[in-house]
Amino acid sequence: MSTTAELPAHATLFESKIVQMTQGVILHHALCTAARLGIAMGAEIDIVGFLMSRYFGLRSLGTCVAVGFGGFILAGGIGVFLMGAGFDATGSYALPLAGFFTAMVVAALLMTGLGPYRFAVMAVHESEPLKAGAA
């Protein structure tokens, strides 16, 4: 019998780990979940920089990354406050975690509307952008 909640097939690794942390799991599972959550967050940080370079270009990349990661750090601080306030109000972390889970799903849905990259990958010695799948 599984101790985790059933998730839709499109749930991301990050979302599935948050749901697992709301379940009453043993210490070994909690440690594995925390490690996987850390890996997912590391991947999230990398993909933010990559997407910013493709949608905002290299000319404004420094400013965009600074604002983006500043918001990332600010949201991390606000999230801790909201988790504490939610626990104080309800006596459980379930409600704040459900709110964060919902916010992540909404963010993932918004990302599906980004469209194609605005700035193509340029070849090292060519002036033409590389075609998708060309090496």
The pLDDT assigned to 3 comes to: 45
Residues whose CB falls within 8 Å of the CB of residue 13, separated by 6 or more in sequence, listed in order: 36, 39, 40
| Residues 77, 85: Cα–Cα separation, whole Å | 13
Residue 11 has pLDDT above 60, yes or no: no
pTM for the complete prediction?
0.57
Q: Which residue has the tokens 């839709």?
A: 8
pLDDT at 15 over 70: no
Structural element, H or E, at residue 38: helix 27-56
Using the predicted structure, report yes or no on whether residue 125 has a pLDDT greater than 70: no
